[in-house]
């Protein structure tokens, strides 16, 4: 058993309290590899933004849990080397799907875990979430839970349609589980295809898809029920058109990819939404940069020559999100 405190990590409690008061949101960036981690830490250190490093079950299997733990510990030291005196870095399990997985992460030095039992019937969601909370809180590890269903893939859970969170359930759920934050469904979804073309309208000038707006009325009703309670938005990539165009220009095929407009995320960040999850945008930036190098320099075979530009582009993306979308710069 290793405590996250020994690794120099922090849980989400203070981060979220400050974010709600300050009207900004903490970036939760997923990572699977060294280049993503370097880019996240560099962007956070240079902007002095608190940050949540997110690891999904799939990422944990991909990168190896032991290696990941040391990578997170290394990230704290790297941040200090970059001149960030007191790094505010949280290591969080994204979409944990069982008590055993959450326990293993708590025991391995994670400072926060998500138990995503949102696909289970309501009472079962409560029971499993409470079990995780009871264990995690013994070690001062914070717990995110989810109520409502997002369309798209949630690790191994997938749903074709979303079911908005029911505001009338949130007080009962938060009280009975003791969770520290709540992921809700208000129209975001995972991946680079958040809406079908039929769900969107088309901009007559550009021909690009315009997605339907998020259900801010549902968010408002939830905030009214749970004043000051930390709310989390998953599936919040914007799917920047420039990356999609770059990918398509250099041999990729991502037709009609569409995300959440950044103005809507900005608006959400000013409310009780204090954690915004972004993964797909980083994948798109990485892929766009790698495809460009491969297309322009077909003789290149040193991974540093294509992973390096990918890292630079991701760093630029993370900084942009921190400064222009979440407003978390200068808050750590």
Give the residues lining the site for ligand 13P (CB under 6 A).
Answer: 30, 94-95, 190-191, 234-237, 277-281
Helix axes 170-177, 216-225, angle to 10 degrees: 50
- Give the residues lining the site for ligand G3H (CB under 6 A): 30, 56, 58-59, 94-95, 154-155, 190, 279
Q: Are 163 and 184 in contact (CB under 8 A)?
A: no
Of residues 7 and 183, the one with the C-beta less far from ligand 13P: 183
Question: By CB under 5 A, is residue 92 in contact with Zn ion?
Answer: no
Question: By CB under 5 A, is residue 234 in contact with Zn ion?
Answer: yes
Of residues 97 and 180, the one with the C-beta less far from ligand G3H: 97
Environment class of residue 293 by beta-carbon count within 10 Å: exposed (0-12), middle (13-18) or buried (19+)? middle
- In the complex, what is the shortest distance from the CB of residue 204 to ligand 13P, in angstroms, rounded to a whole number? 27
Of residues 234 and 291, the one with the C-beta less far from Zn ion: 234
Alpha carbons within 13 angstroms on the beta-carbon side of residue 191 total 16
Vertex 83 angle, CA 78 and 89, to 5°: 55
Rounded Cα–Cα distance for residues 141 and 14 (Å): 12
Residue 328 touches which of ligand G3H, Zn ion, ligand 13P, none (Cβ within 5-8 Å per kind): none
- In the complex, what is the shortest distance from the CB of residue 116 to ligand 13P, in angstroms, rounded to a whole number? 9
The DSSP annotation for 60-85 comes to HHHH-HHHHHHHHHHHHHHHHHTT-S
Residues β-bridged to residue 27: 276
Q: Is 94 a catalytic residue?
A: yes
**What token pair was written down for 136?**
């995690």
- In the complex, what is the shortest distance from the CB of residue 154 to Zn ion, in angstroms, rounded to a whole number? 6
- In the complex, what is the shortest distance from the CB of residue 115 to ligand G3H, in angstroms, rounded to a whole number? 14
Q: How many CB atoms are closer than 10 A to CB 149?
A: 18
Residue 236 touches which of ligand G3H, Zn ion, ligand 13P, none (Cβ within 5-8 Å per kind): ligand 13P
Residues β-bridged to residue 163: 149
Residue 36 touches which of ligand G3H, ligand 13P, Zn ion, none (Cβ within 5-8 Å per kind): none
Residue 59 touches which of ligand 13P, ligand G3H, Zn ion, none (Cβ within 5-8 Å per kind): ligand G3H
Q: Which residues are catalytic?
A: 94
Contact set with Zn ion (CB under 5 A): 234
């Amino acid at each position: 058993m290793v405590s996250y405190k020994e690794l120099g990590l922090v849980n989400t409690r203070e981060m979220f309290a400050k974010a709600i008061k300050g009207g900004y949101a903490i970036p939760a960036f997923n990572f699977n590899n060294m280049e993503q981690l370097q880019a996240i830490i560099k962007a956070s250190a240079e902007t002095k933004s608190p940050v949540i490093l997110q690891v999904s079950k799939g990422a944990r299997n991909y990168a190896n849990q032991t290696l990941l733990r040391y990578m997170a510990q290394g990230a704290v030291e790297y941040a200090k080397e970059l001149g960030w005196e007191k790094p505010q870095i949280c290591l969080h399990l994204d979409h944990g799907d069982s008590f055993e997985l959450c326990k293993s992460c708590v025991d391995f030095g994670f400072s926060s875990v998500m138990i995503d039992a949102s696909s289970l019937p309501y009472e079962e969601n409560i029971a499993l979430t409470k079990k995780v909370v009871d264990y995690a809180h013994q070690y001062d590890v914070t717990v995110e839970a989810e109520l409502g269903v997002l369309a798209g893939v949630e690790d191994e859970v997938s749903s074709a349609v979303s079911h908005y969170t029911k505001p009338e359930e949130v007080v009962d759920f938060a009280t009975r589980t003791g969770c520290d934050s709540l992921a809700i469904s208000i129209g975001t979804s995972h991946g680079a295809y958040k809406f079908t073309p039929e769900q969107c309208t088309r901009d007559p000038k550009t021909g690009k898809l315009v997605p339907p707006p998020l259900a801010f009325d549902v968010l408002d009703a939830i905030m009214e029920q749970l004043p000051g309670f930390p709310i989390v938005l998953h599936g919040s990539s914007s799917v920047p058109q420039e990356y999609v165009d770059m990918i398509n220009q250099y041999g990729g095929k991502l037709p009609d990819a569409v995300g959440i407009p950044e103005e809507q995320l900005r608006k959400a960040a000013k409310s009780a939404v204090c954690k915004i999850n972004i993964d797909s945008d980083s994948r798109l930036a990485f892929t766009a940069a790698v495809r460009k190098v491969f297309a322009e320099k077909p003789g290149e075979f040193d991974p540093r020559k294509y992973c390096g530009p990918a890292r630079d582009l991701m760093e630029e993306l993370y900084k942009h999100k921190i400064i222009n979308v979440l407003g978390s710069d200068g808050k750590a």
